[in-house]
Structure 1
């Protein structure tokens, strides 16, 4: 299956949208305006608006946010953060004995840090 990646979003071809429409939808998902999409895709702003309107029509959406939600639900687009999170999870499962991996601080370190903050706040009150 072919995909298009734009920024932090990945779009899947062959699920109802043409490649340029999918690219426009991915730009919308990144929060770009019509002019920014036009610059990114090297097309006129009117053409970018037409592509977005076509996407809205094909996904039966009234607004851009609705189109993004329907595209995610229909698995047309997916955020790459999901892929990154799964990659990190797989790494932690595979390499559990990694000495460089440190998930959280020891309880003593956390207590010492909070004591320092309290003492600084007390010192500030005494000087004021």
Structure 2
């Protein structure tokens, strides 16, 4: 099984070109944190965070942090966990279990019932 780091809604895969600390900081950038926020979270200097991110950008051949995240996704170094959730949902929908299915009423019918109740309440108030 491949080693990975999970941070928030992102998963980073080790052994794909970035050092573990670079990958950790890249995941923080993917979440949307700045170098100062990452430094505060980890308990190190913002300059150290900036240096690690610069190294990661050099390794992936990009010059901006947004491009760093995009390139890491393209190379499958990081991936959002929503893909995993979508996979679980797809697998769950393939299971043919009648008890797990839930049919809902059409929204038009529900709206009609709400209108009728409101009219009845208004009629009661005026009477």
For structure 2, the residue ranges without an aligned partner over 5 or more in a row are: 120-127
Tell me which residue corresponds to 1:32.
Answer: 33
Distance across 1 between alignment mates of 2:63 and 2:98: 50
State the superposition RMSD in angstroms.
2.3
For structure 1, the residue ranges without an aligned partner over 5 or more in a row are: 121-128
Deviating 4+ runs (over 6 angstroms): none
Normalized against structure 1, the TM-score is what? 0.79
> Is 1:11 equivalent to 2:12 in the alignment?
yes
Tell me which residue corresponds to 2:102.
Answer: 102
| Structure 2 CA distance for partners of 1:93 and 1:59, relative to 1, 3 Å | same
Where does 1:73-112 land on structure 2 (aligned, <5 Å)?
73-99=74-100, 101-102=101-102, 105-106=105-106, 108-109=108-109, 111-112=111-112
Q: CA deviation at 1:48?
A: 0.7
User: Of the two, which has the highest radius of gyration?
Assistant: 2
Q: CA deviation at 1:102?
A: 3.2
Normalized against structure 2, the TM-score is what? 0.80
Q: Which moved more, 1:102-111 or 1:1-10?
A: 102-111
